[in-house]
Structure 1
Amino acid sequence: MGDRTTIYDIAKRLNITAATVSRALSNNSKISKKTRELVFKTAEEMNYRQNKLALALKSGKSNNVGVIVPRIDRNIFSAVIRGIEENLHSEGYQVIICQSHDDEKLEIENIDALINAQVDGIIMSLTLETSEKNKAIKRIVKKGIPLIFFDRKKDIEGVSTVTINDFEGGYKATQHLIDQGCKEIAHLAGDFAIEIYEDRYKGYREALSDNGIEFREEFLIHTSSKVEDGQKATRALLKLKERPDAIFSASDFVALGAIQELRAQGIKIPQDFCVVGFSNEPFTKFMELSMSTIDQSPRDMGKIAANVFLEQVTNNDNVKIQKKVVLAPELLIRDSSSRLPIK
C-alpha cells in the first residue's frame, strides 16, 4: 500500500472508526493510551504517512518556513539559508527554499506556491525587478503570514528587515581607498531601485565629500552583478581622458571582472590601481591576487532573520512584531588595495 495508506485503511484493519484513528494519531487524550499505541503501531506497519497539508489546514500550522532567494549559488544567499536552517531546525521547522533568479514573475510564483503550502512564515531577499506594486508581497502581509526581508529589502509596514549598514560599507570601502592614496575613485554600482545599492553609492559619495574629493559623473557606471560587466565597465573607464586610479564595486563579481581587465591591460594592482569589492564571496580570498571586500556576515543575518520569525510566532499576545535589524559591515583589506601596512 505504501504512501497511499489512509486512516480509513488503518480503521478497517483495527475495526474502529476513522475519526478514532485520526484522534489517536493526533495524540488526543480522549483516546485511551492502549488504543493510541495500537494505532501508532499499525500505522507504522502499514507505512502510513500523515498528510502534512491536511494537518496544516486543520491546525493552522505547518511547521514549514519558506525562504526565497534570487539565486542559491551566491555565497551570501547560501550562507543566509544555512543560518536560517540552523536556528529553525532546532525549533521543529523545515525550510522550503525557492529561487527567483531575479525574475519578478518567478518571485510571484514562489510566493503563491508558499502561501498555498500553508507556510508559517516567509523570509526573502527581493529580486532586482521587484516593484512597489507587487501584489504578491501585499498578499503575504494581508494574510498575516510573518514576512522578513534580508539583504535586498523594501520598507513595507508590518514587515521586518535584517540587513547590514550598506551606507557604512560603501563609506568604509571608499575611505580605505582614499587612505591608500587614491584620488580618482570610480564606482561600479548596482541598480538604485534596490535600496542596498543606492545606500552603498551614498556611502561612497559621503566619503568623497568628507575628504574634499569632487564626485565625477563619468566615474559612476551601473552594472548587473556579472564578471563580464566589470570587464566592460573597466574598459570604458580606462578610455576616459582622465582615468580613475581606483574602483569601489558594489559587487565582488563585477570587481573580479575589473581586476581581470586591469591585468589584461598591464596595469599593476595595487601599485597603480586599487580595487575593493562587496560581499566577501569565497573566491575573493583565494584569488592569486586576493580581493579587498566588505563582509556582510550572512550566516548571522540568517540566524537573526530566523529569530525575528520565531519572536513573531511565539509571542503570547499575538502582537505584530516589526523589527529593523542592521548589522555592522566589516572591511577586509587584501592584496587588491593594500599599498600601505595594515594598521
Structure 2
Amino acid sequence: MFWICGFYIMTPRKPKSENSIVDIAKALGISPATVSRALNNNLRISEATRKRVKEMAKEMGYRHNSMASSLRNRRSNTIGLIVPRISMYFHAFFITSLQRQLQAAGYNLMICQSNDSVKLEKELANSLYSARVDALVVSLTLYTEDFTHFEGFLKQGIPLVFYDRVPPEGTPAYIIKGDDYRGGLLAGNHLIAAGCRRIAYISGPPSSSIYRERTRGFQDALAKQGTALREEWVHQHELTTENAWNSLRRLFDGEEVPDGLFAANDTTAIAAVEFARERGIRIPEDLRIIGYSNDPRTSIITPSITSIEQYPNEMADKVAETLLGALQHTTGVPIEIGTPVVCPVDLVRRMTT
C-alpha cells in the first residue's frame, strides 16, 4: 500500500497457492495415494484415517479439482441446458423438475439462457462444448433455422436432446415436444363449440416450430367447421405484453370486432383480459379467450382464463429418462434419434369461455 495524491493505493496481492493432496499427505505423514483414496471414500482406507484426512483437508482449505478429474475420466458429470428465457413459466417448471432428477442421478445441470438470440445461442453451444459437458439439452430460440452450431456434439457422439421448440423431424438428435398441433385443434374446436364465429388469433413468429404447429391445428379446427381465419385478424410476433396490446388495439378499433380470441401464450391471454376490462368488453358474453401453457396466473386472474395445459413436469421426465438412458448406455432410452416423441396436452376450461 502506498500514497498517490492523497489516496491510498492498494497493491494487488499475489494469489496464494492452494494446498494440494501432497500438502495434506505431508501434514499427516501419509502417502498422497492414501489421501486421494480417503477423500474419495475408498473402503480400503479405515474410517479413522478417512476422518483425519477430511478434517485436515478442511483445515487447510483444500478444494477438489473437478475439472482435472473430469479430464482424466473423460466425464464432467455436467449436462448443459440452453433455454430461451428462464422467466417463462413452462421453462421454469421444466428446469426445476429436470434438475431434481439429474442431481438424484449424480449429474449437475449448467443452465444457460439464450434470450431468443440466435447469436447468443451459438456462443452458448460452443462454450458448453468446450466445457466438455456430457450431454446438451436445448429449447431453440424463436428464430433458429440453422443448426450447424450443434454439429460438434453430434460428431463426438455427445447426447443431444431438443425439447419444446425443436428442429425438423429427421434431425439426428433426440426430439421431445408437446402436441402443439392438438393444442391448436382443441382451442379452435372449443371456441366454435362456444358459439364464436368472428375469431381472431395472436401467435408467435412462424419461424418457431411450436407456433407453426399451433397455427396449423387451429386453422384445421376452424376449417372443419366452415370458419376461416381472416387475414387481418391474425397477428404473429413475439408474444410480449406490449405487442399483445398493440395487436388488440388493431383488432378492436374497427367497426366489426372479434367475438373469440386464441392467444398462443398466456401472457397474451392475460393482456387480452386486461384490455377487455379497460374497453368495457364483457367476458365471456362479448369475447371468449383461450390462452396456452396453463400458467398459474390464469387461474387467479378475474375472470380466470381457459388455457392449454402443456405438462412441463412430464416433458422433463421424458427428457431425463432419455438423457440417463443415453449416458449410462442402458436399454432404457425411450426414443429413437430423429423420431420425435410427442407429449400430450389438454384444454383446461375456465371462466373466459
- Structure 1 length normalisation: TM-score? 0.88
Counterpart in the other structure of 2:111: 97
2:212 corresponding residue in structure 1: 198
CA contact (8 A) 1:149 1:162 kept: yes
Q: CA deviation at 1:226?
A: 0.7
Q: Does the CA-based 8 Å contact 1:233-1:258 persist in structure 2?
A: no
Q: In the alignment, which of 264, 274, 297 is matched to residue 250 of structure 1? A: 264
Whether contact under 8 Å (1:3, 1:47) holds in the other structure is no
Label 1:318 to 1:228 Cα distance change in 2 as closer, same or farther (>3 A).
Answer: closer
Question: 1:143 aligned to 2:159?
Answer: no
- Indicate which of 120, 141, 155 corresponds to 1:127: 141
Could you tell me which residue of structure 2 aligns to residue 340 of structure 1? none
**Structure 2 partner of 1:7:** 21
1:52 to 50, 57, 66: 66
Match of 2:181 among 162, 167, 178: 167
Q: In structure 2, how many angstroms separate the alpha carbons of the residues matched to 1:165 and 1:185?
A: 22
Letter in 2 for 1:59: N
Deviation at 1:36? 7.0
Specify every segment of 5 or more residues in structure 1 that has no aligned partner in the other structure, as ranges: 338-343
Describe the SS at the equivalent of 2:57.
Answer: helix
Shift of 1:332: 0.8
CA RMSD of aligned residues (A): 2.6
> Contact (CA 8 Å) 2:199, 2:261: kept in 1 or not?
yes
2:132 aligned with 1:118: yes
- The partner residue of 1:64 within 72, 78, 92 is 78
Structure 2: runs of 5 or more not aligned: 1-14
Report deviation, 1:150: 1.3
Q: Matched residues in 1 for 2:143 and 2:21: separation?
A: 46
**Do the aligned partners of residues 308 and 264 (structure 1) sit closer, same or farther apart at CA in structure 2, a change above 3 Å counting?**
same
Q: Choose between structure 1 and 2 for higher RCO, CA contacts under 8 A separated by at least 6 residues.
A: 1
Are 2:209 and 1:186 aligned? no
Aligned equivalents of 2:263 and 2:181: distance in 1?
13
Q: Cα gap change, 1:55/1:280 in structure 2, threshold over 3 Å: closer, same or farther?
A: same
The reply on whether 1:315 has 2:333 as its aligned counterpart is no
Matched with 1:33 is: 45
SS at match of 1:278: strand
Once the two structures are TM-superposed, the CA of residue 276 in structure 1 deviates from its matched residue by: 0.5
* CA distance in structure 1 between the partners assigned to 2:91 and 2:274 by the alignment: 25
Amino acid at match of 1:333: R
Write the letter of the residue equivalent to 2:220: E
Q: Which moved more, 1:240-249 or 1:158-167?
A: 240-249
**Residues in 2 aligned to 1:199 and 1:230: alpha-carbon distance in whole angstroms:** 20
- Counterpart-to-counterpart distance in 1, 2:28 and 2:123: 43
**Cα displacement (A) at 1:152:** 0.8
Residues 32-71 of structure 1 deviation map (CA, whole Å, 9 limit, x = unaligned): 6359736555434433221111111111112111222111
Match among 190, 214, 224 for residue 210 of structure 1 = 224
CA distance in 1, matches of 2:110, 2:117: 19
SS of residue matched to 2:304: coil
CA distance in 1: counterparts of 2:56 and 2:17, whole angstroms: 14
SS at match of 2:140: coil
CA distance in 2, matches of 1:256, 1:27: 54
Which stretch of structure 1 is more off in the superposition, 295-304 or 315-324?
Answer: 315-324
Q: Give how far 1:239 is off.
A: 2.9
1:330 aligns with 2:342: no
Q: Distance in 2 between matches of 1:287 and 1:223?
A: 24
Distance in 2 between residues matched to 1:256 and 1:69, nearest whole Å: 23
What letter is aligned with 1:149? F
Q: 2 CA distance for matches of 1:114 and 1:272?
A: 51
Checking the alignment, whether the CA contact within 8 Å between 1:53 and 1:118 is kept in structure 2 is no
Kept in 2, the 8 Å contact 1:251–1:277? The answer is yes
Contact 1:231–1:260 (CA under 8 A) maintained in structure 2? no
Shift of 1:145: 1.7
For 1:3 and 1:152, the matched residues in 2 are separated by 46
Could you give the per-residue CA deviations for residues 165-197 of structure 1, whole angstroms, max 9, x where no partner exists?
000000101110000000111111111111110
Query: How far apart are the structure 2 equivalents of 1:304 and 1:3?
Result: 45
- For residues 2 and 300 of structure 1, the distance between their equivalents in structure 2, rounded to whole angstroms, comes to 48
Q: Does the 8 Å contact 2:202/2:234 carry over to 1?
A: yes
The 2-side partners of 1:227 and 1:86 are apart by: 31
Tell me the CA shift for residue 222 of structure 1.
0.7
Letter in 1 for 2:163: F
Q: Is the 8 A contact 2:34 2:45 kept in 1?
A: no
1:341 alignment counterpart: none
User: Counterpart of 1:72 in 2: which secondary structure?
Assistant: coil
Structure 2 letter corresponding to 1:135: T
Alpha-carbon offset, residue 266 of structure 1: 1.4
